[in-house]
Amino acid sequence: MHIRDHLLASAAVKEQTADTCAEATEKAAMAIASSLRSGGKLMLCGNGGSAGDAQHLAAEFVATLDHRRPRPGLAALALTTDTSFLTAYANDFGFEGVFERQVQALGKPGDVLIGISTSGNSVNVEKAMAYAREHDITTIAMTGEGGGKLASVADILIAVPSQSTMHIQECHIALGHAFTAKVEILLQS
């Protein structure tokens, strides 16, 4: 595949995403803003590239999306960054519960958890989302086409209409930037 073809394919998926995911992304922004306004926090989790996306988006909330529009930091954390915890827990109990355990320890009713999985079938993300939902933590799933298993544990499903992991991940960051920008606007009003 030539670079131009790759970029055009990516753009086509983003255009489809704009048509199919805008409403869910707006709902996600409203849920996050409501939580933050009430003293809650945003938690994010995912594996591999989605772990990187979780960290990237948490950084946008805590730092700022656009340094030309300064604002106070917003309470957000990626559950993917504490290597001591992740390796200790996985060593003792297995990898499937690493995010669920952190939601148990750090989450409270009124918080928001975003689970990111291109397939929608990451067991450790699904377990965290199920626990969160059972404990009055709003759940937002960012997935690929169809939503996978996360669709059943998500209060809000943002399912990119693609089965291409790379294009789904590209859209996840674009969607994350979109809801971060919207949250900033909502919190200013």
- What pLDDT was estimated at residue 80? 97
pLDDT of 11-63, one tens digit each?
999 999 999 999 999 999 999 999 999 999 999 999 999 999 999 999 999 99
Q: Is the Cβ–Cβ distance between 158 and 25 less than 8 Å? A: yes
- Ordered by where they begin, the domains of the chain are 3-188 (3.40.50.10490)
In the predicted model, is pLDDT for residue 106 greater than 90?
A: yes
Phi, psi of 140 (to 5 degrees): -125, 125
pLDDT of 56-102, one tens digit each?
999 999 999 988 888 999 999 999 999 999 999 999 999 999 999 99
Strands (E), 65-165: 76-78, 112-116, 138-143, 156-159
In the predicted model, is pLDDT for residue 189 greater than 90?
A: no
Nearest-angstrom CA–CA distance, 78 and 86: 12
pTM of the model: 0.96
CA angle in degrees (0–180, nearest 5) for 83-56-80: 20
- Residue at 72: amino acid letter: P
Nearest-angstrom CA–CA distance, 105 and 22: 32
